[in-house]
Amino acid sequence: MFLDKFSDSLCTSELQFGFKAKHSTSMCTMVLKEMSAYYVSDGGCAFCTFLDATEAFDRADYCKLFRQLLKRDLPHICLRMLLNLYTNNVAYVMEWYSG
């Protein structure tokens, strides 16, 4: 609901593939294959670096994230709700034993 209502304020770069409608990692793979084919086709070399960002979102600077959202003029009540979700997340684990 939030994304539908404020999608105009939450535009991202066309170069971002993750977490966007009609985009996927297969597009990233295709771009990588095309780029490497372009450089290697004339007998050149291509070097590639990969980044494992598996836990990157867990280490995100939420203050910086929310400052950016404030700059996009989103309603403060919505930002407060999101901030509450991100900062007050609690999980409880119970042991379950079936006899």
What's the pTM value of the predicted model, to 2 decimals?
0.47
Q: Give the amino acid at 38.
A: Y
DSSP symbol at 75: -
The token pair that represents 74 in the structure block: 């989103």
* Predicted confidence (pLDDT) per residue in 8-17, tens digit: 777 777 777 7
Cα–Cα distance measured from residue 50 to residue 52, given in angstroms and rounded to the nearest whole number: 7
Radius of gyration of the chain (CA): 20
The yes-or-no verdict on residue 56 having pLDDT over 70 is no
Instruction: Mark out the alpha helices in 1-99 (DSSP H runs).
Output: 2-6, 25-40, 62-71, 76-87
* Predicted confidence (pLDDT) per residue in 17-31, tens digit: 766 777 777 877 888
Q: Nearest to residue 66, comparing CAs of 56, 54, 74, 58?
A: 74
- The full set of domain ranges for the chain reads 15-87
What percent of the chain clears pLDDT 90, i.e. is strictly above it? 1
